[in-house]
Amino acid sequence: MSTPSTIPDLAALLADDFDFKFVGEGAANIIFEIIQSQEPDPLLHDKLLRVPKARAIALDYLHVQEYWESSVRPLFQDGDLVNQVLVHLGACSAKQNLIISRMQAAVSSVEPTRRKDFRGSTVGETEYAMLVDDMRAARSNIKGGGGFEILLEFKPKWLTQSPDAPANAIRCRNCAKEWLRYHDKLQKKLQKPPKLQQSFTPDDKLQRRQTQKALPLPVLCTIDLLNSSSCIKARERVLSRLTDPSPTSRSTVALTNAIPEGSRQWRLLSRWLEGNSLLKRLELAQRANDDPEHLDRNGRGKRKRGGCLTALVGQENPELDLAMTLRDCTCFLRIPGPPGPPPLERAGAGGPAEEDDDDDDEQGEAAATEQDVEEESVEVEAKLGDLDKKNGAAKLATWQALERRLIDEGFYTKRRPRAEWTCALERTDEDEDED
């Protein structure tokens, strides 16, 4: 367990010519690559630096790390999680001040490209930062055959239904939330006050239709995700969603490169969806914490319905906080590239080459048959990250208000004419082909 006295000092690990490159951000944290001209200290090797944003609601990193080590890590197997260790930032020495100002400069340099609702947010005044395994796609991957990896990230949220959902729900918690988000966006675009009761019979149907078409529908049904191991149709739906590179306004699914249907990387992903046990472990952990008293260690037992709506504001709700923590994580998948030397080296270009435009790649693809994939020991590398303790005391009222809206405004239960997607719960057995 990290104690403040054993936590290394980042300033001492960095060479004098250090700098930072912005890698990504979420609502609560910013992630940087550490740039140095010389060989990094072994502690920094293949690591990214994660720092909290200035945001009152987040818990401090010492607390977050202690929780991750004591409550989250024991639920998983070795290799399941993106490893994280704390480093000391402090704010006393000139070098420590330089660290903060260079991070901030790296953020400012990408300001116009940041997600709209994240613009203006800054690095927090924090004593600690985190070193996390760098999950970005490697330029080439020797173990996987030398080709370009693809990084795919998605949030495996709510793998089982919310305990607060109505018994007649036709949507899982994830699809219900996505529909609410879609509904709110549509209302905003139409510049009308949100009135769900009227939203299916609008006065101006044409305007509504056009606006609907313009909105992206990036729905990953997480029940389908879990069913991907046993149901081909569910797997196909998930594959089509995960491999769609079309830009979305949110980061629920992100892909470094397109994955063409039937390509070797597509087949590797399909094989991972079918055979992985990571999502099952995550689902069990999410579910067990909905009602720990009534479930045994394998998640079996009588289930009492008790989600955030039965939790009391002002009281400790440790199981709910853990369940919510386990629902808001990111799954990183590193998918090995096609066999052979990286296309860049053959083309002599300076940036990642598009697989589709490369004749050699097409030949490589043709040579890599389904059987090749089966026989190779090439594996998708999958890890869960961003398992930060939720500040339940500060968030419970928001969770409850959201759950109430989902229930009261019919997002779980109301049928949608001409629905652009259907949730796994809405489909009948006849719709599906079990393996």
Ligand X SMILES: O=P(O)(O)O[C@@H]1[C@@H](OP(=O)(O)O)[C@H](OP(=O)(O)O)[C@H](O)[C@H](OP(=O)(O)O)[C@H]1OP(=O)(O)O
Ligand Y SMILES: Nc1ncnc2c1ncn2[C@@H]1O[C@H](COP(=O)(O)OP(=O)(O)OP(=O)(O)O)[C@@H](O)[C@H]1O
List contacts with ligand X (CB under 6 A). 26-28, 155, 177, 250-252, 324, 328, 390, 395
Should residue 24 be labelled a site residue for ligand Y when binding is judged by CB under 6 A?
A: yes
Q: What is the 3-state secondary structure (H, E, C) of the chain?
A: CCCHHHCCEHHHHCCCCCEEEEEEECCCEEEEEEECCCCCCHHHCCEEEEEEECCCCCCCHHHHHHHHHHHHHHHCCCCCECCEEEEECCCCCHHHHHHHHHHHHHHHHCHHHCCHHHCCCCECCCCEEEEEECCCCCCCCCCCCCCCCEEEEECCCCCCCCCCCCCCCCCCHHHHHHHHHHHHHHHHHCCCCCCHHHCCCCCCHHHHHHHHHHCCCCCCCHHHHHHCCCEHHHHHHHHHHHCCCCCCCCCCEEECCCCCCCCHHHHHHHHHHHHCCHHHHHHHHHHHCCCHHHCCCCCCCCCCCCCHHHCCCCCCCHHHHHHHHHHCCEEEEEECCCCCCCHHHHHCCCCCCCHHHCHHHHHHHHHCCHHHHHHCCCCCEEEEECCCCCCHHHHHHHHHHHHHHHHHCCCCCCCCCCCCCCCHHHCCHHHCCEC
Which lies closer to ligand Y via its Cβ, residue 50 or residue 389?
50
Which lies closer to ligand X via its Cβ, residue 365 or residue 409?
409
Min CB(27)–ligand X separation in Å = 3
Number of residues engaging ligand Y in binding (CB under 6 A): 23
Residues 262-321 that bind ligand Y (CB under 6 A): none
Q: Which does 11 bind (CB under 5 to 8 A by kind): ligand X, ligand Y, none?
A: none
Should residue 335 be labelled a site residue for ligand Y when binding is judged by CB under 6 A?
A: no
**Interface residue with ligand Y, options 25, 290, 291, 403 (CB under 6 A):** 25
Min CB(78)–ligand X separation in Å = 26
Q: Which does 24 bind (CB under 5 to 8 A by kind): ligand X, ligand Y, none?
A: ligand Y
Which lies closer to ligand Y via its Cβ, residue 26 or residue 306?
26
Which lies closer to ligand X via its Cβ, residue 41 or residue 118?
118
Should residue 385 be labelled a site residue for ligand Y when binding is judged by CB under 6 A?
A: yes
**Interface residue with ligand Y, options 386, 390, 411, 416 (CB under 6 A):** 386
Min CB(83)–ligand Y separation in Å = 9
Should residue 28 be labelled a site residue for ligand Y when binding is judged by CB under 6 A?
A: yes
Which lies closer to ligand X via its Cβ, residue 131 or residue 320?
320
Residues that bind ligand Y (CB under 6 A): 23-29, 31, 48, 50, 82, 132-136, 153, 251, 328, 330, 385-386, 388
